[in-house]
Structures are given as C-alpha cells and as structure tokens.
A and B are shown apart, each in its own frame.
Chain A
C-alpha cells in the first residue's frame, strides 16, 4: 500500500467506483493482446495508450494550469514526424528512433519556450490564438515540404526488426497467442505510457503542480506570494509539449506511418479536448477514462449500432435511426449528453467516498 501510494504520488483515486473503472481499464490494456483477438482490437488498445498520454499531457495545461492551447497536436506531430522521418530516412534501427525522438524533443521544447515567453504574459485568449496560428503554420509547412515529409500522403516506413509482425520473440505461444513483434511493440507502448503517466502524476502532486493549480485559481495572488507565474506557465507548457512529443513517437512507431491525418489534424485537437472534458478537467485519471471511452466509442459504435439496427428490424423508424452510417450523429449526441450531464466530467461525477 505504501508502495502504491508512492507510485501514485499520494493521489489515489477518490472513490471506489473510480478505482474500479481504472483497474478495469488497466487490466484490459495489460492483457489486451490475450483478451481480444484481431488486429482491430490491438490497434484500438494501442491507440488508447498513446492518447491517454496525449490527453493527460493536455490536461496538465488545460485542467491544472488553466491554459487553453491549440498547439498540442503540433507537439504530437513533431514527435510523430521526428521518429517517422528518422526511421524513413536513416533506416529502421533503434538509433533512428532515439535520434528522431531527441531531435523532436529539442524542437518541441524550443518551440514551447518561444511561444511561452512571447505570449504567456498576454491575456489567455491571445495565447490561445497564437497557439492556433503557430499550429496552423506548422501543419501547412508539413504538407508543403513534400520532399521531407511526404506531403499529404505522409511517410510509410519500417520499424526495428524486434517490432515487426514477422518477428517471433520465442517459439510457441502464451494462451494461444504467438508473441510476435506487434505484441512486443504493444508492450513497449504500454510501459512507456505507464512510466509517462506516473511521471505526470508525480508532477501534478509536487510543489510545482500545486503552483500550477494556484495559477489556475488566482494568478494575481500566486504572483503576490512570490511565484513568477510566467515562468511556471512556461515550464508547464514545456513539460506538456515534451510529453505530447513522446506520445507522437509512440504513435509513429505503432502505425509505421506518419502523415498529417494521424498527427497534425485539427480533428485530433478537438478529440483531445473532448477526452479531457468528458473525463474531467484537472484530474489525470479523467484523461485516462476520457481517452478510453472516446476511442472505444469511435472504434465500436458503428458495430454496436449495426447490431441494434438489426435487432430492431420490423419496428418503424428505429432501424433507420440506428443505421451504422449515423454513427457520427450518435457520437455527437453522446458528447453533448456527457458534457451536459457531467459538467465536471466523469471523474467529477463519481465524486469522492467519505
């Protein structure tokens, strides 16, 4: 128990229901390759892993510090392109991954620092607009510099042999599943996500994390008790950008493809925003729940609706209403409903025991 406390930085889930959901998600992700068959399930689980990291790092800004930024997918994209282009250009080796990641991290932190120092002292709305502008410029650059990035088509590349589908970790199987390179890659992502998540949990429960909350609550008073709020905001911005960059590397390694649609698109920015809001702002556990629910809905809603549509055959109207083609409509209704009924997010809704 003491170990768990230390691991979670004294920030244990506040209610039994929340703990139960988190344990279920954790176990589901831990055993995903053995619990669910098929590549769709494994792809969805891997996507959840890097989106949990991405959403949690966004919550560091939005929920903890009260900074609205639209540049988060840019940092995610820098990570994706950093690793992806390195693998593409320098060959599928671990040193390419490492070098690509390092370059991406340097670029992200430099950009985050520049954006922070130039604009974190202005009003929050201007900061949001500036991040939007910078992110747009970056997206245009990525699609224009076709010789480097592959333009709109992006780049497809190989990953190190250990992570390829043809690789076998050993002969034989575990629970009827052959341990191939995809499963190794999945567990690499899982460990990375876990380490990053626990690190972020530590950051938000450190003295620094408390200052971020103070800035969100009342930056004027935070300044009055001695905290240079511009500095704290900038550091938060850099930490968040760096973590988003690593999430981008995870995505690039998993997909073996990097392009605008998987990393830089504004749709992803909106998705992250929804994940954080649905899960509950200002709690990293909310990001876990939000990202998981969102991606499960996105992946399985169509299948689910097809089943409902068939089951309601013969009843007027219903089959048409639940036709799989209408899944986006239902996704929208789910979002509006969850934001309306759980304004504090799911974690806020679950409340605290005692």
Chain B
C-alpha cells in the first residue's frame, strides 16, 4: 500500500518561538484527518512543513519509504503532495481559466514545452474546463483571478488543488470567511475527493459540525504539540481537548 505521509519529531522554531514541537504522526490513504486547535497552534506551519514551503528546524518527513524532508516544494508537489492555502494565494493578474490551466499543465508535466501552442493540447484544455465546472466557476472563466469575490477565490484555490490530482490533499480552513451559499460547494468537493477513497486528506477546520461530518480521525495541536489523536468521538470527549481547544465544549 502506498500513500502514507508521516512525520517524526517534526519541529519548527521561529527565533525563540516553537511553532511546531516534535510532532510524530502518520496519515494513511483513504482517510480524512481533521487537524484542529486554537489560532496560533501551529496548524498552518505544520502544513507548510509537509508541503515544503518551510524547511523544518529538526525532525523528518517521509512519503512512503522516502524521506522528503529536504525536498523543495515543487518536487513535493510533483510527487503528489498537494496543498490549498489558508490565505488565498493565486495568480491574480491571470484569468481564472489560466490559473486552472497552470495547475493542469503542472500535473501533466508539460511546463518546459516551448514549441506548442496551449490550445493544441485539447486534453488539457478540456480538463481545465471540467475543473472550472466542478468548482462552479465556469461562468467566471475569463475574469481576472484578482477580481473575484472572496468566496470565488476560495473555490479557485480548491480548484487548483484538485487540478493537480494529488495523492495528498491538504485543505487549510477552506471555508473560512465564505458565505453560507458558497460553503456547500467546497464541502461537496471535499466529500467527492473522500468518496473516491484513494487519497490522503488533511483538513484544518474550525467548524465542528463540518469536522464531525467529514473526519475519520482528529488530531489536536496545541502550542505546536500534538496533544490528542484518534477517533472523532473519543478525541472530542477527552478532557485535554476540552481545555485546550478554547471555546469548544462537548456540546459545541
């Protein structure tokens, strides 16, 4: 079986501040793990370490049997570790369609083709259009990405991730700040990815009802430390979680 992403004693220090503190953890294919914890707990930093945006101060990251701790972000993306960002992070001056095409051609590995017109790759054009439809942006395909509403930008952010066809999907608060109409679009997409049953999915999410409905497992970070890990019901009931995860009582 392949598709295991794991960390050993993973640590990230910013000056004197420890944002991720000795986290050892494994994520299996076909499961959706929710990562929860208060603001500043180190969730985004943990993602940045996994996908290579940050280089770990100490510890190791393994992708199946390979250590990928030192690999640059682009190499990890090409190996199938995909990432959507908490703060929307697009190509603002390019059209929505071009944003998706960039991810599609990245997955297809044709970026160094200087000779062919984009349009001559019918298969890639079609795939980009299909993804635009799935994230509900077909009508905005020609708009500049920077001119989209916040909700549409979040959809595009998820669209880029799906276009990469990764084996690991990392969603960092994908629905934060979205209107109630837009939230289901994103959740349906995550559901669909999960239903395929092959991918390893990591989800940072504050809304506990969302976590309950999607997660197979919950990992709790607090001050950079992994303080709880297990089945959703068990984790939610644990006293350490009740005290650590501020504002979330058993009935929240």
Let me know if A225 and B102 touch, CB within 8 A: yes
> What are 29 contact pairs spanning A and B, CB under 8 A?
A6-B117, A202-B114, A202-B117, A205-B118, A206-B114, A206-B116, A207-B112, A207-B116, A207-B118, A208-B114, A213-B98, A214-B94, A214-B102, A217-B91, A218-B90, A218-B91, A220-B53, A221-B89, A223-B72, A224-B53, A224-B83, A225-B77, A225-B164, A226-B78, A226-B106, A226-B111, A227-B74, A235-B112, A239-B114
Q: Give the nearest-CB partner of B53 in chain A.
A: A224
Nearest Cβ on chain B to A239's Cβ, whole angstroms:
7
A228 to B98, CA, bound (A): 18
Let me know if B107 and A226 touch, CB within 8 A: yes
Nearest Cβ on chain B to A10's Cβ, whole angstroms:
5
Which listed residue, B102, B107, B118, B160, touches A206 by the CB 8 Å rule? B118
Q: Give the nearest-CB partner of A216 in chain B.
A: B93
Closest 5 CB pairs of A and B: A226-B77, A217-B91, A226-B106, A208-B114, A225-B106
Q: Give the nearest-CB partner of B121 in chain A.
A: A207
Residue B167, interface by CB 8 Å: no
- Given A207-B105, A224-B77, A226-B78: A213 and B91 interface contact (C-beta under 8 Å): yes
A209 to B72, CA, bound (A): 22
Nearest Cβ on chain A to B100's Cβ, whole angstroms:
10
Residue B51, interface by CB 8 Å: yes
Let me know if A10 and B117 touch, CB within 8 A: yes
Nearest Cβ on chain A to B71's Cβ, whole angstroms:
11
Residue B115, interface by CB 8 Å: yes
- Given A224-B53, A229-B74: A210 and B90 interface contact (C-beta under 8 Å): no
Residue A232, interface by CB 8 Å: yes
Q: Mark A1-20, 1 if CB is under 8 A from B, else 0.
A: 00000100110000000000
Neighbouring A residues of B116 by C-beta, 8 Å:
206-207
Let me know if A206 and B91 touch, CB within 8 A: no
Which listed residue, B78, B93, B101, B115, touches A210 by the CB 8 Å rule? B101
Tell me the chain A residues, 97-127 only, with Cβ under 8 Å from chain B: none
Let me know if B73 and A224 touch, CB within 8 A: yes
B residues neighboring A (CB under 8 Å): 51, 53, 72-75, 77-78, 83, 85, 89-94, 98, 101-103, 105-107, 110-119, 121, 160, 164
Neighbouring A residues of B53 by C-beta, 8 Å:
220, 224
Neighbouring B residues of A207 by C-beta, 8 Å:
105, 110-113, 116, 118, 121
Nearest Cβ on chain B to A64's Cβ, whole angstroms:
11
Neighbouring B residues of A202 by C-beta, 8 Å:
114-115, 117
Residue A25, interface by CB 8 Å: no
Q: Give the nearest-CB partner of B80 in chain A.
A: A226
Let me know if B75 and A228 touch, CB within 8 A: yes
Chain B CB count within 10 A is highest, among A203, A214, A218, A227, for A214
Neighbouring A residues of B83 by C-beta, 8 Å:
224
Which listed residue, A6, A208, A224, touches B113 by the CB 8 Å rule? A208
Q: Give the nearest-CB partner of A224 in chain B.
A: B73
Tell me the chain A residues, 234-252 only, with Cβ under 8 Å from chain B: 235, 239
Nearest Cβ on chain A to B163's Cβ, whole angstroms:
8
Let me know if B111 and A232 touch, CB within 8 A: yes
Question: Chain A binding site: helix, strand, loop or mixed by DSSP?
Answer: helix
- Given A206-B113, A208-B112, A218-B89: A228 and B72 interface contact (C-beta under 8 Å): yes
Q: Give the nearest-CB partner of B119 in chain A.
A: A10
Which listed residue, B51, B74, B90, B103, touches A228 by the CB 8 Å rule? B74
Let me know if B117 and A9 touch, CB within 8 A: yes
A231 to B90, CA, bound (A): 21
Chain B CB count within 10 A is highest, among A206, A209, A210, A218, for A206
Neighbouring A residues of B117 by C-beta, 8 Å:
6, 9-10, 202, 205-206
Neighbouring B residues of A227 by C-beta, 8 Å:
74, 106, 111
Let me know if A210 and B89 touch, CB within 8 A: no
Neighbouring B residues of A231 by C-beta, 8 Å:
112
Q: Give the nearest-CB partner of B89 in chain A.
A: A221
Neighbouring A residues of B85 by C-beta, 8 Å:
221, 224
Q: Give the nearest-CB partner of B79 in chain A.
A: A226
Nearest Cβ on chain A to B31's Cβ, whole angstroms:
23
Residue A272, interface by CB 8 Å: no
Residue A87, interface by CB 8 Å: no
Let me know if A225 and B103 touch, CB within 8 A: yes
Neighbouring B residues of A218 by C-beta, 8 Å:
89-92
Residue A211, interface by CB 8 Å: yes
Nearest Cβ on chain A to B104's Cβ, whole angstroms:
10
Chain B CB count within 10 A is highest, among A6, A217, A222, for A217
A269 to B98, CA, bound (A): 32
Q: Mark A62-99, 1 if CB is under 8 A from B, else 0.
A: 00000000000000000000000000000000000000
Neighbouring B residues of A216 by C-beta, 8 Å:
93
Nearest Cβ on chain B to A329's Cβ, whole angstroms:
36
Nearest Cβ on chain B to A27's Cβ, whole angstroms:
26
